[in-house]
A and B are shown apart, each in its own frame.
Chain A
C-alpha cells in the first residue's frame, strides 16, 4: 500500500534532469557539466526532498529519513504540551545516547583486568586528554538516567498512559528501567576501587542469597541455585579478575545491546499505539500557546474529514492522528521540542562534568570493607531491607515491586482518565496515600531502630521468619491491603492503582533517604553523618 506513495513521491521529487547543452561540447562537456552539477545532485541523492518549508516537503522530511520517520508526519499538539510529558522520555533517550558515546570512548583506555582496572581509571582521570570530562560526564549521565527513567515512569503512571492499548509498552518500560539500573550497577563495578569491589561482593552474594531460602528449607545440598547464579555472574566462586571481565562484558555489550533493541520497540509501540496518549475531551484553551499550522486549521474549519490532512501527500493510507484539527507538522514543531530537551540535557551533564569530579575511592582491598560499605544511592533503600534479610531485600522485595508494577495495566482497565494528571478524586487519593505510606514507613523504621527485630528478641529464630516478616515486607503487605481497600471501597481500580503506586514511590524515597542519611558505620542508626565516629 504505502509502496505507491514512496514511488510516487520519489518520482515527484527527482529534480527534472537537465538534458540541454549536452551536444555542444561533446563527451567532455557532458562530464564537465555533471561535475559542476555534482553538489546539487549529491544532495538530491542523499536528501530526496527540498527545504522543508512547504507542507509536502515537511512531510517528506519526516518519512523519507530512516531516523526521523520514527515520528509520524504530524504530531498532536497535546503531545507538545510541556506539562504533559515534561520531556522525560526524550531526556532519558538523550542520556542513553550521551552514555553510549562517552562509554565507547572510555573503552579505548579502560583495561578490564584485576591488576590494571584501577590504574587505567586513574590514567583516564589524570592523563588522558579530556579523559576526566569524559569520565565525569559518563558518571553523571548515568545517575541522571536513573532519575529520569524513574520520573518518566511516574509521569506515565499519573497520566494513566499505561492503559489500553499501551499495556505492553508499559511492560517494555519496566524492562528498560531494570536495564538502566543494571547498567548503572555494572558500571559502578568497573573502576575496581573500594566501592566497586564491595558492591560486587554484596551484589553477587545477593544473587546467591537464594541460599538463605534453600538453607532455611534445608534443600541446599540438592538444589543450590544461589551458588550457581553467583558462579555465572562471577565466573568463579570468589570475586576477582573473572568477575571484572564478566561485568565489563555485561556493561559494554549485553546490556547496551538489549537496551537499544528495547528502546526501538518502545518507540515503535508508541507509533503503533496511535501516538502519545491524550484526553478525549481536550478544550481549545488547554492548547493555548502551542504551535498551530494551516493544515490543522483547515481541517478544523473544514468538514472535519480526516483526508484534509493528506493534502500534504495525495494518499490517505499513512497512519494519521484521528483528531486532525489539533495536529501540527512534526517538522519542525516536534523536532524543535525534542532538540530543546536534548540540548538542555547535554548542557546539564557537561556542566556537572566540568564542575564535579566522579568519585574514585582507594583501590579495592579484599581484606577490609569500607565502613559503612554503601551501594550506589539508588540501591540504598534496598540495602536497608537487605540489612534485615539478604533474600528479602535483594530478591523478594524488588521482585514484588516489579511484578506489582507490571500488573497495574492489567488490573486497572478503567477508561477515561487518559493523558491528564490526576485531579479531584484521583489527586485526593494520591495525597492521602502518600501521607499514609509515609507515616507507615516512618513508624516501622522508628520501631525497628528502637526495639530491634525478631532476631534480637529470639536469637535462635528460623531465618524463614525474618525473610517473610521484616520492616520491608511488612509495609509492602500493608500497602497492598491498603490499595485493595481503596478499590473495594470506591469501586475504582484506578484509585487502587494510584494508592499502590504512591505507596511504592514513598517506599523508594523514604528507604533510600534512610539508608543514605541515617545509616552509618556498622549500619548503625545516626541522626546525621556528622555524628559518625571517626577512627
Chain B
C-alpha cells in the first residue's frame, strides 16, 4: 500500500495549488465519509430532542372570582403555584425555587427553600441563598365562565395583580 504522501510518478501531476491529484481525492473521500457519518448521526440523534413536550398544560383554573377575598390563599400543589388575594387583587406566585427547582415552603412571612436554604420575601424577591432570581409571578386572566385562569407559561412583572372589573371585591 502506498500512503497518500508517497508520490509515485503518475500522481506527480499537481493541481494548481500544489495538491496532488491523489491527495486531493483521498482528502475528499475522507471528508465525504466523515460528513456522511456526522449527518447520519445527527439525524438519528435529533429524535432525542422532544418537539412536543408531554407536560401537563401550563394553564389551570384557580377558581371563581367570588372565591377570592383579600386574605385568600390557595396552594395548588400539583401545579406548584400559590394563588393569593389582597386588597389590590389576585396574584399567582410560583413555589418552584429558582435555584434548582425544589418546592419552597412558607416561613416568617416569606418563603424558604429546604434544599439549599434560599430565602424569599412575601413577594418572592430573593433575600438570601443561592437562588439567582426571585420566584416567578404568573399571568391571571378571567375566563368567560368566571373562572380565573393562571398561565404558567406567561411570567409577569412582580407586583402584577389581577383586579376585578366589577365591584365583586367590595
Contacts and interface: CB of A to CB of B under 8 A. Distances in A.
Contacts of B74: none
Given A373-B115, A455-B126, A205 B101 contact: yes
A231 B50 contact: yes
Contacts of B127: 459
Contacts of B78: 366-367
A198 B115 CA distance: 9
A369 B103 contact: yes
A215 interface: yes
Given A232-B49, A240-B55, A459-B127, A390 B100 contact: yes
A389 B133 contact: no
B77 A386 contact: no
A22 interface: no
A176 B55 CA distance: 34
Contacts of A143: none
Contacts of A209: 100
B103 A368 contact: yes
Contacts of A521: 114
Interface residues of B, number: 28
A485 to B, nearest CB: 31
Contact of B100 (A201, A241, A466): A201
A463 B115 contact: no
Nearest to A464: B132
Contact of B114 (A231, A373, A386, A388): A373
B132 A235 contact: no
A383 B99 CA distance: 12
Given A232-B49, A390-B100, A372 B126 contact: no
B83 to A, nearest CB: 15
A390 B118 CA distance: 12
Interface string B52-65: 01111000000000
Nearest to B54: A236
Interface string A205-221: 11001001001100000
A496 to B, nearest CB: 33
Interface string A357-371: 000000000111111
Contact of A205 (B77, B100, B128, B133): B100
Contacts of A366: 78, 80, 103
Interface in B33-54: 48-50, 53-54
Contacts of A401: none
Contacts of A236: 50, 53-55
Contact of B116 (A215, A370, A386): A386
A201 B100 CA distance: 7
A273 interface: no
A455 B113 CA distance: 16
Nearest to A242: B54
Interface in B121-138: 126-130, 132-133
Secondary structure call for the A interface: helix
Interface string A376-402: 000000010011111000000000000
B144 to A, nearest CB: 29
B117 A231 contact: no
Contacts of A388: 130
Nearest to A203: B100
A216 B130 contact: no
A17 interface: no
A238 interface: yes
Contacts of A369: 102-103, 114-115
A232 B53 CA distance: 11
A456 B131 CA distance: 12
B55 A372 contact: no
B15 to A, nearest CB: 36
A237 interface: yes
Residue from the set B50, B115, B117, B128 with the largest chain A CB neighbour count within 10 Å:
B115
Given A237-B53, A455-B128, A390 B99 contact: yes
A372 to B, nearest CB: 7
A235 B102 contact: no
A205 B99 CA distance: 8
A389 B116 CA distance: 10
Interface in A1-39: none
Nearest to B75: A367
A231 B126 CA distance: 26
B112 interface: yes
Interface in A199-255: 201-202, 204-206, 209, 212, 215-216, 228, 231-232, 235-238, 240-242
B55 A455 contact: no
Contact of A459 (B49, B56, B116, B126): B126
B116 A237 contact: no
Interface in A496-533: 521-524
18 contacts: A201-B101, A215-B133, A231-B49, A236-B53, A236-B54, A237-B53, A238-B55, A242-B50, A366-B80, A367-B103, A369-B102, A383-B116, A390-B132, A455-B130, A459-B126, A459-B127, A522-B113, A522-B114
The 3 closest A-B pairs by CB, nearest first: A371-B114, A387-B116, A367-B77
Given A202-B115, A366-B80, 7 more contacts: A232-B48, A235-B50, A237-B53, A238-B55, A369-B115, A455-B128, A522-B117
